[in-house]
A = this chain, B = another copy of it.
Amino acid sequence: MIRASIVGGSGYTGGELLRLLLFHPDVEVGQVTSERLAGKFVQNAHPNLRRVSSLKFCSIGDLEPCDALFSCLPHGEGLSQIDLFQGVTERLVDLSSDYRLRRTDDYPRWYGHSHPRPELLDEFVYGIPELHREKIRRARWVAAAGCNATATLLALAPLYRAGIAKQAIVEVKAGSSEGGNRVSEATHHPERSGAVRSYRPTRHRHVAEIMQELGTSDVHFSATSIEMVRGILATCHVFLSQPMDEKALWRLYREHYRDEPFVRIVKERSGIYRYPEPKILAGSNYCDIGFERDPDSNRVVVLSAIDNLMKGAAGQALQCFNIMFGLDETTGLEFPGLHPV
């Protein structure tokens, strides 16, 4: 059994990860930390784990050695704990944005502060298995990718890797769980319910990851918060540098993702689920990808749907973990999602 612990386990990604680990056949959950809830049962924060687990939260100061550590601390808060993490574990998956960008310049530009430990940036592998599986297999430290970045990158990578994408405009529709469990006027139900709120028309931080991984700066991004708790749909308008017919696009995407256990090409002639739909992905680790050519221009619209807490966070982190430990990549991630829901 692999002993795995979670730092910052009272939030939404921590709870989701705990749920997954509790049912993982090769994992024994070590500790789950929360300063706010130390000493309380995990079901206080995660009511779905009632009776499923009798674990209690502990303080980060009480962390014991483990085989793998997942950090679900809020962005920025894990930076000062990195030495502590090194002291207790060999393998770390960090779900925050603290180590995703490789270039030190990118931190002041996108996060407004310089990175306190720039020497560590090269140690982390950017955690999207479909892009960096071999590096993750050999990694000690993984920086799990951002949720919007994951949806966008899986949609765009085939076109950019083939060198045929010229420009992309990405419009993400996202749910309220993306913002975590801190209350605010913005998330007060009478205000947030039914909202179609432009969250970041420009300069969303996930753009930095997207540009880094695609190797281009001609990607434009906006995010809109809609009535939904879990889920992301990325609608990516890509302008190609050369005409490409339907068949060639099919071939390109199929070749890229044929062997991927969690990427499904969704492209049907008819039916209400003929395009990727986040609604039916809640709880699943799939990334569904579809596309449609505009016959009147060189635009292709690529659609990508995920559950932001699964393939966009905890699920992807566990997928990385499975790879790092040589396990079947899908272990503990088989739940296919519900319909209807």
Identify the A interface with B (CB < 8 A).
Answer: 12, 15-16, 19, 23, 44, 46-52, 169, 171, 173, 175-177, 181, 183-198, 201-203, 217, 220, 222, 224, 226-231, 233, 235, 237, 264, 266, 271-273, 275-280, 282-284, 288, 290, 292-297, 299, 301, 303, 305, 334-341
Contacts and interface: CB of A to CB of B under 8 A. Distances in A.
A255 B69 CA distance: 40
Contacts of A290: 198
Oligomer: number of copies: 4
A320 to B, nearest CB: 21
B48 A305 contact: no
B336 A197 contact: no
Given A171-B235, A183-B185, A339 B264 contact: no
A230 B188 contact: no
A192 B184 CA distance: 13
B196 A278 contact: yes
A95 B235 CA distance: 30
A48 B288 CA distance: 11
Given A50-B264, A195-B279, A227 B228 contact: yes
Nearest to A226: B226
A282 B176 CA distance: 18
22 contacts: A16-B338, A19-B338, A47-B277, A47-B280, A50-B288, A173-B196, A181-B185, A183-B188, A187-B190, A189-B229, A191-B340, A196-B228, A196-B277, A196-B279, A198-B235, A202-B296, A203-B294, A203-B295, A226-B228, A227-B227, A230-B341, A282-B338
B189 A192 contact: yes
A275 to B, nearest CB: 4
Contact of A197 (B186, B217, B277): B277
A6 to B, nearest CB: 15
A162 to B, nearest CB: 20
Nearest to A47: B273
Most buried by B among A49, A338, A339, A340: A340
Given A48-B280, A194-B341, 14 more contacts: A48-B337, A48-B338, A173-B224, A173-B226, A183-B183, A183-B187, A187-B190, A192-B193, A193-B193, A201-B292, A202-B294, A203-B294, A220-B297, A229-B341
A339 B181 CA distance: 11
B224 A237 contact: no
B277 A237 contact: no
A318 to B, nearest CB: 15
